[in-house]
Structure 1
């Protein structure tokens, strides 16, 4: 019998978070208490904001349903390890859709993981090799969680940084946001020593740590981290502007576009046009456009037009079953 009320409530909550209906008698047997105690404990959970629904019947039943707000979850050891491993794998390869919210979730989870579970997560990830991975540089999940925690806590962040030409520097920053482009992670931050805003490729960051010094957030010039990154990339010499017309509505295309590319412009015929700046190779952009799943026509630059044409021909040959010609 579980006589400690808080411990019993956690045990009850853990059972109810399994997606099924629990008969009152079975819950009472699992907890080693009376059905009356189960009813009182359910009322306590409701007072704490957990939407527990009761059903009538000979035995009655309880189940946790969706509410207006997200209540705290109670995870067992295996569930916590599984979630942490999944978040770390996704964050480390900058998979599109695994954005800053996922990194914040990972930071919160790893902060409260017991040492034994944190060790299991690290061991499992070190022993696992993914069959496929992104074509961008991988990032240590620990780097992302340190940054996410510093952003959430408004703490100054210090780290070593290696520029594209190999120059190594030490940076003291006020971190603002993490932005994923699908291939890479970027940190948008205010550089204290240079008294200006900067973007940093996270895969070039080493030894990040939060200094503990708090700061009042500054106003980002563009008001949006993804837009600031887009403009920052546009100012670099290695970027280029491209124009693509899609045979699909702007809102449909926008759902599958990375936010840093901006929003497509609706056209009178029901399609849309995207004019944006890219810093990746035209080969990667050609593949990325094809993966959107909508018919499109490249207007410029000529290098991208030729690359898309060559990619289409190569895929067509591969589909015809002649790998030597593909």
Structure 2
């Protein structure tokens, strides 16, 4: 029964994250593409879940699945209310011709990845040796892992994925690797609609479908999407940062600056390697400022959003 409730809990969280994703993804015409919204909703769900658990741990509040759910769902209510008031339109147009074939192939690839992830426990190197044991320890402690003495290098990793895994263990009542792996697989699959967006912006829909197909057909993508690693979730957040960065250049909307900062913060909160990309994104903002595509307020909004997400966990670790 607990296992079923764990699956239902994640489904409800993803559903409740969609209104906030709609608000972030909508364009000047108040419309948002369906696939992109789902990708952003998955990012918001996993990011929000990990941050709620982080702050509960920092405040000394024991991890209880019901309490975590109540807090996170409560934080999502303003997005639901604003979405109800502003009524952004979720758009979907069935692809035609060759694009329909590509769409079907991508759906098949995504289905295989998700099914494979749900059928096997963790077994790949770092996932089995680092992330799974950390998640199990967090679930056992009912709180964050104390960093004391030596040999705490791995415990000092960013914790977005590990905290999501530990929530699954707590909600399931056992070390449910199958559902835990499904979380990272969902974030990996979300890279497909995410990478479609910059391709479409550069070369139209055909370029978008080509970009998604090239990613989906890469053997390394399919292999690592089911591994339970942090790399593809980090790649999703960085890709979303690229998308919102381009949108910010085009529109100078404060919502895009906010989403840009959120994506960067989530990337840094997922894997340290994301920090390597931060100077490039900073230069992008400065270029946009120099070309008068944005102003200082956009940079401040993005910086505050990124720091609010990434800084608390980093400060707690170091």
* Range of TM-score over shorter length: under 0.3
TM-score, normalising length: structure 1? 0.23
Query: TM-score w.r.t. structure 2 length?
Result: 0.24
Higher share of residues assigned strand: 1
User: Which is richer in helix?
Assistant: 2
Larger radius of gyration: 1
Question: Which of structures 1 and 2 has the larger relative contact order (alpha carbons within 8 angstroms, sep 6+)?
Answer: 2
